[in-house]
Amino acid sequence: MSTLYRPQIVEYRLPDGACRTPDGRRVTKQTPGAVRRVSRSPTWHGRFTDRTGRRHQVKLDKSKSRSSSMLDKLAGDAQLAGVGLDDPFDGHRTRPLLEHLKDFGRYLAAKGNCAEHVTKTSSQARAIIAGCGFKKIGDLQSSAVIEFLADMRATGEQSALPLRGKSLTVKEVAGLLGIRTASVWRMVRRGQLACEGQGRKRRFASEAVTEAIRRRRGVGINTTNHYLVSIKQFSKWLVKDRRAAFDALAGMSRQNDGTDVRHPRRALTEEAFARFVEATAAGKTFRGLTGADRLVVYTLGANTGFRASELASLTPASFELDAGQRTVTVEAGYSKHRRPDVQPLRSDVAEMMRLYVAGRPRKKQLWPGSWPDAGAEMVRLDLAAAGIPYQDEAGRYFDFHAIRGQFVSSLAAAGVHPKVAQVLARHSTITLTMKNYTHLDVLDVAGALDKLPALPGDKSASQPEQHSRRA
């Protein structure tokens, strides 16, 4: 049973209509000369009884038709809940979206993902949620996400973010910037972000954070694609975990990052790469890695195509160095594909690793520390020692990730079939292998033409001696 009504509003005013006396007090029933006035509320209210007999009163809407629909929905849901047929998503709709995001982070960690992947995915999703002003699951909207990502790529004046003039904690700043808290403190040390207070009470003014966000704008499509993947993964999980009825971002897709390359990379020639590795051996220690350590890291990376985070995860137990089976394995939690990746090793690389891991704790990481966060800086220092520019005349860079391209380009130069190169590079498509990671400047493109068969009917090519006698 439900009833729709507009409650009476009783108020007292002075004869001139004022609701307050000359001394500022509110007019009440006891005020001398007060006139009682009765009116109807402009907003409709409703009463309904649930299956247990409990009565409820709710404020609805100024429109009678909308209020009637709202009351019917509330009364119907109350009856269904009494027999266990209530809306399974109702409780999740009212929870703050950031609470769901915390649960999502715990879900990623429980699946065995490495801490870096969990932090990065959660931070990027949090940056979009904060930037778009999403509060609840129902606020998720693809058009708002598209506008936010376009705003990230823009280089001009940016729209203000909803920071509301408050001071922020380091975790809140990291979420808005899409980075880790350690990176926030790094920005503070470099003078890129101002903070106030000491110790745990340090806070960041919203104006300083907004300016830092704007300075980080102008990123490429590849970067915003990573943000999009993170928020889509979160939205998809909401449905998978029975927290939302549908995926609000299901129709969104990544943009073609080939049209906007902000950091083009290159491969080194065989001679230049050898010079780079040899110069590393005499280099100073960088974030816990000695020159000898980096020589092994660079060599292994150039012969496996492993990323910095994957190399940092390796332990002596990751290697199988028997004569019949020479492999190295990246565990699923550190692999980009979230599955164990087993890579074969050349005999000389396997021998190098046999000597290097000898006597080391079997389950302890070979190269722990924060060096993967500054891989480009580390490579830049070692390139300088070898007399090789970090950026060439064509504007292309050789950073740590370029070593992965060095691996694929070396395979191509050795005549390895593209499909085999794709498997070794662990790419999902052969287009990615050939287009993004194979650099033609280290290949003998012109010399490849000499391997083609002779022209049809060209007797001079097939009978060079006879041609010489006729001449």
- Residues 10-40 have pLDDT tens digits of 889 898 888 888 888 888 888 988 999 999 9
Residue with structure tokens 């949620």?
A: 129
**pLDDT value at residue 423:** 87
Query: Per-residue pLDDT for 231 more than 90?
Result: yes
CATH pick for 270-447 out of 1.10.443.10, 3.40.50.300, 3.90.1170.50, 3.30.470.30: 1.10.443.10
Query: Taking the CB of residue 238, how many other CB atoms lie within 10 A of it?
Result: 24
- pLDDT of the residue at 259: 62
Between 111 and 156, the more confident residue is: 111
* C-alpha distances out from residue 406 to 308, 397, 398, Å: 14, 12, 9
- What's the CA gap between 137 and 99, in Å, rounded? 11
Taking CA atoms, 292 is separated from 289, 310, 365, 449, in Å, by 8, 19, 16, 41
Per-residue confidence (pLDDT) for residue 385, from 0 to 100? 93
Residue 11's CB is within 10 A of a number of other CB atoms, namely 15
Question: What is the pLDDT averaged over residues 327-337?
Answer: 83
- The tens digit of pLDDT for each residue in 235-263 reads 999 999 888 888 989 888 888 766 667 77
Mean pLDDT (the chain, rounded): 83
Comparing 258 with 45, the larger pLDDT belongs to 45
pLDDT in tens, 343-401: 999 999 999 999 999 999 999 999 998 898 888 899 999 999 999 999 998 888 999 99
User: In DSSP terms, which residues pair with 293 in a beta bridge?
Assistant: none
- Measured CA to CA, the distance from residue 392 to residue 266 in angstroms comes to 9
Residue at 397: amino acid letter:
Y
Q: What is the pTM of this model?
A: 0.57
The pLDDT of residue 462 is above 80: no
- Annotated domain spans of the chain: 2-86, 97-259, 270-447
* Closest to 208 in 3D by CA, of 191, 224, 220, 223: 191
Tokens 């693809």 belong to residue: 142
Average of pLDDT values for 418-424? 88
For position 214, what pLDDT does the model report? 63
**Interatomic CA distance for residues 30 and 155, integer angstroms:** 65
pLDDT above 70 (res 450): no
Alpha-carbon distance of 175 to 159, in angstroms, equals 18
Instruction: Kindly give the pairing relationship between strand 319-321 and strand 35-40.
Output: unpaired
In sequence order, the β-bridge partners of residue 37 are 11
pLDDT in tens, 151-166: 777 754 444 455 555 6
Lowest mean pLDDT among 82-86, 136-140, 207-211, 309-313: 82-86
Residue 227: closest CA among 158, 312, 151: 151
For every residue of 166-204, DSSP letters joined together read: --B-HHHHHHHHTS-HHHHHHHHHTTSS--BSSGGG-BB
Instruction: Indicate the burial class of 174 (C-beta count within 10 angstroms; 0-12, 13-18, 19 or more).
Output: buried
Retrieve residue 108's tokens.
């990623």
The predicted structure's pLDDT at residue 466: 46
Whether the per-residue pLDDT at 426 is higher than 50: the answer is yes
Q: Which three-class secondary structure state does DSSP give residue 78?
A: helix
Give the Å distances, CA to CA, from 127 to 107, 231, 316, 462: 19, 9, 38, 67
Q: What is the pLDDT of residues 298-329, one digit of tens each?
A: 999 999 999 999 999 999 999 999 877 899 99
